[in-house]
Structure 1
Amino acid sequence: MSTSKEQAAISKIMSFLQEWDHGNKIVRSRMLNAFLTQNTGKTCPELEVEFAQVASLFLARLTAWMRLTYMFGTCLGLQLKAVGVFLSASSNHRYLIEFLEVGGVLTLLEILGQNQTKEEDRTEALSLLQIISNAGRKYKELICESHGVRAIAECLAKSKTEETQEAAQAVLESLAHGNPKYQNQVYRGLIALLPCTSPKAQQLVLQTLRIVQAIVKSSHPSIVEPLLNMLRSLHLEVQHEAIELIIDLCQYKVRPLLLRGLVALQKPAKERVQKHKILEDPEMTKMTESLPVFVQQAAAAKAVRLLAQGSQELSRELLSLRVVHNLLYTMGNQEHADAQRQASLALEHFVRTYPIVEEHVRRAMGTDLFTAFMLTAETLYMKMDEIQADILLSNKVNISEASEHRNSES
């Protein structure tokens, strides 16, 4: 570039910066829109050419204005997108360091926590955090040391749009990779999110836990209760992810807790029914309050079947926990058809796999019901009368004791 051209470029950028310094919100908004139109997707060298090798002067002004005004939402979306042009530019290390040195990470995390922040602005802030996290281990550690895991997790739990929830999930997953110092913090943060109320958030948390579980290579007992509670969800996608995570976790130390929990759910404790409000139908209220328990019962029976089918070792462990007795109980409880169906399918596997189970189940059911069971286990619940159901509810089958007795005789 000739000296005259250099002088012209410098003069142009100085005029641009002066206009910014003296401009009000409307002027700066117009300038940011023009900046985004002209520079989105440019590399670091290209931005330096555009700004006569002093692009950092504009980035400094931009971040300073954002830090002063983000609590009021002034052009926040435009500000974040403009910062994104710098941080997403290839060879962006210089811009990244400059942004971090002025407290960029803390600003982004504070934006996430502001009640007045728009959802689309939260999504933009999360996108910038992901860029920072993806830059390397020391950047992940900086986010975690700034209490980023908690802020991002809360954002995931409370956000009202799937786009924001997915952006938060992506950052948490990024923070778990290549971050040995804080990967367990991410893991515990995800476990703490399990009781959240958003089905989409629950689904994303369960998916991410499966990924992070393989990274941390250990399990924590605190995951068991909230994970089993996920089986109460009326959303099949949440149930599916919960069951998949349960299957994964059976490779870890929490396996005995999970298996005992799944078997126990086949005979759920009767939950206290709340007092009915005036003009409410007591029967309808009772049914509505009991539904999650029966849904959980059905999902647990499905999980038992999948675990038993996938591993003989797990199948034998389940038998030692009186799973047959409890599955028969579920089959006899005529309050929820799907729970009966799933329990019947699970029991069918044990009957067809273990002769001793077949012997005891035949005795518990009686010849006619057992014959119907072996022909069409999935629809058996439709063919039972109340007497047969009562027999199943009061069964005394204990395969583990029978197995021990048989082994002692042989």
Structure 2
Amino acid sequence: MSTQEGQANIGKVLSFLREWDRGDMRVRNRIASSFVTQNTGKTFYELELEFAQVASLFLARLTTWMRLTYMFGTFLGLQLKAIGIFLSASSHDQYLMEFLEDGGVLTLLDILSQSQSREDDKAEALRLLLTVSNAGRKYKEIVCESHGVKVIADCLALSNRDETKEVASVLLESLSQGNPKYQYQVYKCLIAVMTCSSPKSQQLVLHTLRIVQLKLKTAHHSIVEPLLSALRSLHLEVQDEAIKLILHLKCCDVKSALLTGLVALLRPGKEEMQQHQISKEAELIEMTGSLTAFVQQAAAAKTIRLLAEEDQELSHELLSLGVVQHLLHAMGNREHADAQIQASLALEHFVMSSPAVEDHVERVMGVSLFAAFKNKAETVYTKMDETEAEMLSNQVNMPHVLNGNVLDG
């Protein structure tokens, strides 16, 4: 570029900035919209060429405009997109540092915290924070030091739109990677929001938690209770993520607590099974509560089968916990066919892996029912009469079976 062309370009930029400074909201909206249309996807060097090496002056104006007006939300989406062009400009982090120095991260986090912020704007703010996080460890630490992990986790748990939740989950995953100082904080925050009410949020939390857990050598004990509770979900995608996480945790220090908890879920407590006696005015809620207990029973049986099939030592440990007794009890649950099916499939594994278990189960079931079980375990519940189901569901203090030996229970 010649000196004369350079001077002309500088003059053009100064005129552009002057129009911005003197313009009202309508003028700034027009300028910012034009900037987004013409500059999306440009690199740092292209932006510098376009703005005669002073593009930072326009970024500072955009950041200030956003910081002063984001509470009103009028132009927030446009402001975020315009700033995003600078932050995503490749090959350089100058714009990123300038944005952070102007309090950009705190502003983005405050946008996420405001109840009046629109979901579109929250999603865009999360994308900008993701750009910051992906820039490297020092940027991740800045987000975390600004108390960003809790804000983002709350956004994941409470947002009304799937898009916002999905970006929040990706951002939390990013903050957990290459960030040893705050990795555990991300982990604990995810555990804290596991019990959120939205099935989509719960699915994403469990998925992200599993990715984070893969990087950790140990598991925190507080993960056990909400993880087992997730098996109550009526949404299969939530159950699936919970089961995948449990299968990973079989190698962690919470293994024993999880196994004990899973076996206990095969026999729902009386308070769960008799909810209909509590209040006639809450019949629908109580029916749902009973259903979730049965769903949890079925999911626990499925998880037990998968664990036992993957690891012979886990299979032996489950036997020592009286899993056969509890699976037989679940098979007698005529209230929920899936619980019967999953319990039968799980029991089939233990029967096939141990002659002693096979002999014991045959004695309990009787020759006819056991023959149907051996023929096709998943359909044995259809061959079971009321007396047989009652007999199985009332099994108490049956012997535990371990390593092919029948032990006194």
Same-fold status (TM-score > 0.5) = yes
The separation in 2 between residues aligned to 1:137 and 1:210, in whole angstroms, is: 21
Superposed CA offset, 1:164-188 (max 9, x none): 1110011000000000111000000
**Cα pair 2:162 2:200 within 8 Å, conserved:** yes
Aligned pairs for 1:21-36 (under 5 A) are: 21-36=21-36
Counterpart of 2:136 in structure 1 is 136
Aligned pairs for 1:364-403 (under 5 A) are: 364-395=364-395, 396-400=397-401
Superposed CA offset, 1:35-83 (max 9, x none): 0111111111110111111101101111011000111103000100000
- How many angstroms does 1:90 deviate by? 0.8
- How many angstroms does 1:239 deviate by? 0.6
The separation in 2 between residues aligned to 1:347 and 1:68, in whole angstroms, is: 64
Counterpart of 2:201 in structure 1 is 201
Counterpart of 2:149 in structure 1 is 149
Aligned pairs for 1:311-322 (under 5 A) are: 311-322=311-322
Counterpart of 2:215 in structure 1 is 215
Tell me the amino acid that sits aligned with residue 373 of structure 1.
F
Residues 1:388 and 1:22: Cα distance change in structure 2 (over 3 Å): same
The separation in 1 between residues aligned to 2:50 and 2:286, in whole angstroms, is: 69
TM-score (norm 1): 0.95
Counterpart of 1:7 in structure 2 is 7
The separation in 2 between residues aligned to 1:269 and 1:406, in whole angstroms, is: 25
**Cα pair 1:175 1:183 within 8 Å, conserved:** yes
Tell me the amino acid that sits aligned with residue 397 of structure 1.
M
Counterpart of 1:334 in structure 2 is 334
Superposed CA offset, 1:172-229 (max 9, x none): 0000000011100000011111100111111111111111001122101100000011
**Cα pair 1:126 1:171 within 8 Å, conserved:** yes
Counterpart of 2:308 in structure 1 is 308
- How many angstroms does 1:158 deviate by? 1.1
Residues 1:347 and 2:347 are matched in the alignment: yes
Residue in structure 2 matching 1:276, options 270, 274, 280? 280
TM-score (norm 2): 0.96
Counterpart of 1:191 in structure 2 is 191
Superposed CA offset, 1:16-37 (max 9, x none): 1111111111111111110011
- SS of the equivalent of 1:181 reads coil
**Cα pair 1:357 1:399 within 8 Å, conserved:** no
- How many angstroms does 1:276 deviate by? 2.1
- How many angstroms does 1:241 deviate by? 0.8
Q: Which one is further off, 206-215 or 317-326?
A: 206-215
The separation in 1 between residues aligned to 2:252 and 2:267, in whole angstroms, is: 25
Superposed CA offset, 1:235-288 (max 9, x none): 1111111101000001100000000000000111022444122xx7x5x66433
Counterpart of 1:64 in structure 2 is 64
Aligned residues: 403
Aligned pairs for 1:188-267 (under 5 A) are: 188-267=188-267
Residues 1:11 and 1:398: Cα distance change in structure 2 (over 3 Å): same
CA RMSD after TM alignment: 1.6
The separation in 1 between residues aligned to 2:361 and 2:97, in whole angstroms, is: 69
The separation in 2 between residues aligned to 1:321 and 1:406, in whole angstroms, is: 11
Residues 1:154 and 1:405: Cα distance change in structure 2 (over 3 Å): closer
Residues 1:126 and 2:130 are matched in the alignment: no
**Cα pair 1:360 1:397 within 8 Å, conserved:** no
- How many angstroms does 1:400 deviate by? 3.9
Q: Which one is further off, 298-307 or 367-376?
A: 367-376
- SS of the equivalent of 1:72 reads coil
The separation in 2 between residues aligned to 1:109 and 1:294, in whole angstroms, is: 41
- How many angstroms does 1:92 deviate by? 3.0
Residues 1:49 and 1:224: Cα distance change in structure 2 (over 3 Å): same
Structure 2: gaps spanning 5 or more residues: none
**Cα pair 1:351 1:358 within 8 Å, conserved:** yes
The separation in 1 between residues aligned to 2:144 and 2:402, in whole angstroms, is: 51
